[in-house]
A and B are shown apart, each in its own frame.
Chain A
Amino acid sequence: MTALAEGVAGAGGVAPDTPVRSGRRGGGAWRFAVLGLLGLYFLIPIAASFWFTVRDRRDGGVTAEFYTGIPGADGFAEAFTRSLILAALTVLLALALMIPTVVLVDLRLPRLRTAVELLTLMPLVVPPIALVVGVRSVLSWAPDYFLGTPLADAFFAIQEPDLPWILVFAYVVLALPFVYRALDAGVHGADLRTLTEAARNLGASWPRVLVSVVLPVLRTSVLNAAFLTLALVLGEFTFANILGFETFPTWILRISGSAPQLSVAVSVLSLLVTWLLLLMISALDRRRGTEETA
């Protein structure tokens, strides 16, 4: 900065900023130190895993055989596809349940907000292991108790190993805290009441209001909720393992004994896929932002 510019800046009232900024610079050093340590904390295990999967033990070189072997690995395709389908169903069901709920609470029943908030917190308060043990007892008891009624058939149907709906239901419950919070933030950032009334006034039916006005306004929140749910389901182990279904995480555990490198390679890959999804969602969001300001 030239002397003149400095003088002008001082006259313009920018000067008081300078000591603050130098203070920030001191804080910046700390921030980088903390960030660096945190980065190492995360990066070292990932890097170690990666090295473990590409090291060729026979001739000491580098190999990609464990990665190329993933698609053909025994049971991988079924387990991964199943997890993706479970995730998609969970996302759809959780959103179908929570979007109308959050909108209704915001527009019509603001007094219920605290109650709904507490209710959606329950899955975080009750440990998953307690939930799954309860679910397992019901699943083993109910078919006998309801034997001969359609309810018994229903209980068998939701435990179909190819597509265990019971996991979808359980995962919806587990996802509630995240889905509710993401949607609630979106609802609070927008004047939904005025927007829905404007749409109603222009002749829109309630379903139309939901699709044409509420969903676009909540788009970012819906994407966030969907992503969090997806990540949760793709990584969920306790329920699937204890209820005895094979999903992506339980498959990784199963093969880890016989093919340790393969199982770690899959884990590294799933990490990358999750990151990719995250980047995609934020890119989608950013594109929308630039479209609007263009």
Chain B
Amino acid sequence: MTAASPRTAAAAPDTRPGVPIRIEGLTRRYGSVVALDGLDLDIAGGEFLALLGPSGCGKTTALRAIAGFDRPDAGRVLLGDRDVTGVPANKRDAGMVFQAYSLFPNLTVAENVAFGLRVRRRDRAEQRTRAAELLELVGLADRGDRYPHQLSGGQQQRVALARALAVAPKVLLLDEPLSALDAQVRVQLREEIRRIQLELGITTVFVTHDQAEALSVADRVGVMRAGRLEQVAGPDELYERPATAFVAEFVGTMNRLPATLSAGAVELLGVRRPVAGSAPAGAVEALVRPEALVVTAGGPAHVVTRTFSGAVTRLLVALPDGTEVRADLASADSQHLTAGTAVSVVPAERPVLVVPAEPA
């Protein structure tokens, strides 16, 4: 997984200073459903922030509130110094790429890209030059005279990105733009989005339910649940030090293991480890990443399945009490741990995150 590129890259010579986004106490209800519950969020100029969460967590509602498609019941949205809460969508200067294919079917690719400029009554020569420029940026310079239905899904989303950027918006809003695409195209395009974003230095909000997508491209990731932010942090911190059990389980794979907390240490799988997080002493749940488990041959547990995926191999191991845990090992070190092999499992020597035990 590629970590977020360093922010220094945003200071390329042709950048314009990104516009910060500020969200204050944003609340939105649909009948009895609370989509946004007093959401506060500060996004720095030029930052790439991913909003991550399960469906219905309010991430799309938040994005639509920034775009102006959804009037919040309470709260404010600021783009730079400008309060845009009551400003209609067509006056906000926020470029958006949608989940569904959104190109105008009756216009060519170049006309689609130039649409925003046409609306702004820029002269034709400028429209043409700018459209060509943007198509070049997304790698579709030779497709300007095609119609949308002649393009693949990935190409259509590239054009949609070019169209959103053509009017030089203050911020870029991406509403799950990759979710309709094939896995391979998805990875390729997300890297390209990140490259373009860094090149332009434009403040970007990227809504997704795919944690790998969020962690791989964003400067910071905001994990949402029930209309609120659970945690906003850089990808590494989010992965290594999740603030809540929800974040821990939503981001990456997490084993939940029964453990006992006493005297600042946690007893787990028969060994004691230092503790991270907080919980009352006694029975707790330990959250352990698959790569933080050490599996050695011989012991009371046994391997159930072995899944090879290149450099890393994942083992599904059944503990003596029947609990199944996932452990990731370097493939080279695990060739002998085939299904059925007797093994023992212990947590690696590092602090273990604990949360209060939840009633089963």
A-to-B contact residues, CB < 8 Å: 190-191, 194-195, 197-205, 208, 212-213, 216-217, 219, 292-293
The minimal Cβ–Cβ distance linking A216 to chain B, given in whole angstroms, is 4
When the two chains form their complex, are residues B106 and A194 in contact, meaning their CB atoms are under 8 A apart?
A: no
Closest residue on chain A to residue B88 by CB atoms? A200
Given known A-B contacts A194-B98, A194-B100, A293-B150, A201 and B89 have beta carbons under 8 A apart: yes
When the two chains form their complex, are residues A201 and B164 in contact, meaning their CB atoms are under 8 A apart?
A: yes
Residues in A with CB closer than 8 Å to B69 are 197, 200
Which stretch (B113-121, B237-245, B256-264, B326-334) binds chain A?
B113-121
Given known A-B contacts A197-B89, A217-B106, A219-B106, A204 and B100 have beta carbons under 8 A apart: no
The minimal Cβ–Cβ distance linking A286 to chain B, given in whole angstroms, is 15
Whole-angstrom distance between the alpha carbons of A195 and B156 in the complex?
A: 13
Whole-angstrom distance between the alpha carbons of A217 and B105 in the complex?
A: 7
Q: B90, B100, B101, B150: which contacts A200 (Cβ < 8 A)? A: B90
Whole-angstrom distance between the alpha carbons of A190 and B106 in the complex?
A: 12
Residues in A with CB closer than 8 Å to B88 are 200
The minimal Cβ–Cβ distance linking B95 to chain A, given in whole angstroms, is 7
When the two chains form their complex, are residues B120 and A203 in contact, meaning their CB atoms are under 8 A apart?
A: yes
Interface size class of B (residues with CB under 8 A): 20 to 34
When the two chains form their complex, are residues A202 and B167 in contact, meaning their CB atoms are under 8 A apart?
A: yes
Closest residue on chain B to residue A215 by CB atoms? B106
Q: Which 9 A-B pairs have the closest CB atoms?
A: A202-B116, A216-B106, A198-B102, A200-B89, A201-B96, A194-B102, A194-B100, A203-B119, A292-B147
Closest residue on chain A to residue B67 by CB atoms? A201
Given pairs A200-B90, A292-B150, 17 additional interface contacts (CB within 8 A): A191-B102, A194-B102, A197-B69, A197-B89, A200-B68, A201-B67, A201-B96, A202-B115, A202-B163, A203-B90, A203-B91, A203-B119, A204-B90, A204-B119, A205-B90, A217-B104, A292-B149
The minimal Cβ–Cβ distance linking A219 to chain B, given in whole angstroms, is 7
Residues in B with CB closer than 8 Å to A199 are 104, 115, 119
Q: Does residue B94 face the partner (Cβ distance < 8 Å to A)?
A: yes
A-B contacts at CB below 8 angstroms, number? 75
Closest residue on chain B to residue A292 by CB atoms? B147
Instruction: Offer 14 A-B interface pairs, CB within 8 angstroms, sorted by A.
Output: A194-B98, A198-B104, A200-B69, A201-B89, A201-B90, A201-B164, A202-B115, A202-B163, A202-B164, A212-B104, A212-B115, A212-B119, A213-B104, A293-B147
Residues in A with CB closer than 8 Å to B105 are 190, 216-217, 292
The minimal Cβ–Cβ distance linking B31 to chain A, given in whole angstroms, is 12
Whole-angstrom distance between the alpha carbons of A194 and B103 in the complex?
A: 9
When the two chains form their complex, are residues B102 and A195 in contact, meaning their CB atoms are under 8 A apart?
A: yes
The minimal Cβ–Cβ distance linking A288 to chain B, given in whole angstroms, is 8
Closest residue on chain A to residue B94 by CB atoms? A201
The minimal Cβ–Cβ distance linking B232 to chain A, given in whole angstroms, is 25
Residues in A with CB closer than 8 Å to B104 are 195, 198-199, 212-213, 216-217
When the two chains form their complex, are residues A203 and B106 in contact, meaning their CB atoms are under 8 A apart?
A: no
Closest residue on chain A to residue B163 by CB atoms? A202
Closest residue on chain B to residue A205 by CB atoms? B90
When the two chains form their complex, are residues A198 and B96 in contact, meaning their CB atoms are under 8 A apart?
A: yes
The minimal Cβ–Cβ distance linking A241 to chain B, given in whole angstroms, is 42
Whole-angstrom distance between the alpha carbons of A197 and B69 in the complex?
A: 8
Whole-angstrom distance between the alpha carbons of A206 and B94 in the complex?
A: 17
Residues in B with CB closer than 8 Å to A195 are 102, 104
Whole-angstrom distance between the alpha carbons of A202 and B89 in the complex?
A: 9
Closest residue on chain B to residue A219 by CB atoms? B106
Whole-angstrom distance between the alpha carbons of A197 and B102 in the complex?
A: 9
Q: B68, B98, B119: which contacts A208 (Cβ < 8 A)? A: B119
Q: Which residues between 150 and 169 of chain B lie within 8 Å of chain A, taking CB atoms?
A: 150, 160, 163-164, 167
Residues in A with CB closer than 8 Å to B90 are 200-205
Residues in A with CB closer than 8 Å to B91 are 203
Whole-angstrom distance between the alpha carbons of A217 and B92 in the complex?
A: 25
Residues in A with CB closer than 8 Å to B119 are 199, 202-204, 208, 212
Residues in B with CB closer than 8 Å to A213 are 104
Residues in A with CB closer than 8 Å to B163 are 198, 202
When the two chains form their complex, are residues B98 and A197 in contact, meaning their CB atoms are under 8 A apart?
A: yes
Residues in B with CB closer than 8 Å to A208 are 119
The minimal Cβ–Cβ distance linking A190 to chain B, given in whole angstroms, is 8
Whole-angstrom distance between the alpha carbons of A219 and B107 in the complex?
A: 13
When the two chains form their complex, are residues B98 and A198 in contact, meaning their CB atoms are under 8 A apart?
A: yes
Residues in B with CB closer than 8 Å to A293 are 147, 150
Whole-angstrom distance between the alpha carbons of A224 and B88 in the complex?
A: 34
Interface centre among A197, A204, A212 (most CB of B within 10 A): A197
Residues in A with CB closer than 8 Å to B160 are 198
The minimal Cβ–Cβ distance linking B96 to chain A, given in whole angstroms, is 5
Whole-angstrom distance between the alpha carbons of A208 and B104 in the complex?
A: 14
Contact with A along B63-104 (1 / 0, CB 8 A): 000011100000000000000000011111011101011111
Whole-angstrom distance between the alpha carbons of A195 and B104 in the complex?
A: 7
Residues in B with CB closer than 8 Å to A190 are 105
Residues in B with CB closer than 8 Å to A201 are 67, 89-90, 92, 94-96, 164
Residues in B with CB closer than 8 Å to A203 are 90-91, 116, 119-120, 167
The minimal Cβ–Cβ distance linking A276 to chain B, given in whole angstroms, is 26
Closest residue on chain B to residue A206 by CB atoms? B90
Residues in A with CB closer than 8 Å to B103 are 198
Residues in B with CB closer than 8 Å to A198 are 96, 98, 102-104, 160, 163
Whole-angstrom distance between the alpha carbons of A219 and B68 in the complex?
A: 28
Residues in B with CB closer than 8 Å to A194 are 98, 100-102
Whole-angstrom distance between the alpha carbons of A197 and B92 in the complex?
A: 13
Interface centre among A194, A203, A213, A293 (most CB of B within 10 A): A203
Whole-angstrom distance between the alpha carbons of A199 and B89 in the complex?
A: 10
When the two chains form their complex, are residues B100 and A191 in contact, meaning their CB atoms are under 8 A apart?
A: yes
Interface centre among A194, A195, A199, A202 (most CB of B within 10 A): A202
